[in-house]
Amino acid sequence: MFKNKKGQVRAGWFIVPAFIAMVVAQQIFALPGLLLLIFIETPQLAGTSQVHVLEMLDNHPWFFLAMQGGGILGSILITYIFWRFINKGTWKTLGFKSSIPDFLYGLFLGAVSICIIFIILLSSGNVTLLNSWGSPEFSTYTVSFLILFILVGFSEEIFFRGYVMSTMASRNHPKWAIYVVSAVIFSIAHGMNPNVSLLGLLNILMVGLLFAYMFDATKSLWLPIGYHMTWNYFQGNVFGFAVSGTTPHGIYNVSVDAGNEWLTGGAFGLEGGLLATLLIILGFFATRLYVQWKQ
């Protein structure tokens, strides 16, 4: 039960405690931002529900960054502690091998993927651009969410790809199992997001498989980290779509009310639409071509 045939502690006994510890650390490290909000907004918070608290956080981007960013830093710290002192690994064995081209290509591929989806939706009349191309709406969200999505890209790839996949690989699990387990846990972790949909969770599972393939094909986390960052940022803070159900604050703003929800993803964001499914599939081919080019 606890050990495999080679006498090694099974991967699950590393992954499950690390995941639980990561969730707990997120809550603890998010407390300062929440306490700041309570201190500033005490009169309005009296008797409110969680939904109202979230709405207030949404109106205070720096408090939102302090709360969410703090939680993310907590998850990075706890993942490293588990990897360094329990798994006895290093940053390099976790997946941080120097590769600037991988990171740049990841940034490019994530941004281009969202741009293609946006162009298709706009040209087909499934979204309406609310402000003109010549009138971008820059705000504090433009900077605060850039920082946030950089942190998200690092933390989620460090745990779901670096920690989970490397732990399973060290126990000689078959490659298909390593891919599937990391992607399933990644999808489950997004299951409590606002406005979640079945297609959205399936797409998150698929992009989890794509990130797993990127990590395995390059032996580095930099490609999926870059893709993850720009996929989120261009979706939410450039084109103004919801990101996995969270409120968008784009430089440009769109309305999806008149569009086909199967394509736009509705309130969950592009990840809940079939166009995201298509671009994720194309991401496998784009990654394969890149790896062949490198070789």
pTM: 0.93
Torsion sign, CA atoms 53, 55, 59, 60: positive
Which tens digits make up the pLDDT trace of 22-45?
A: 999 999 999 988 788 777 766 555
Which tens digits make up the pLDDT trace of 200-230?
A: 999 999 999 999 999 999 999 999 999 999 9
Where is pLDDT greater, at 74 or 51?
74
pLDDT at 56 over 90: no
d(Cα 110, Cα 233) in Å, to the nearest integer?
A: 9
Closest CA to 241 of 213, 270, 220, 214: 270
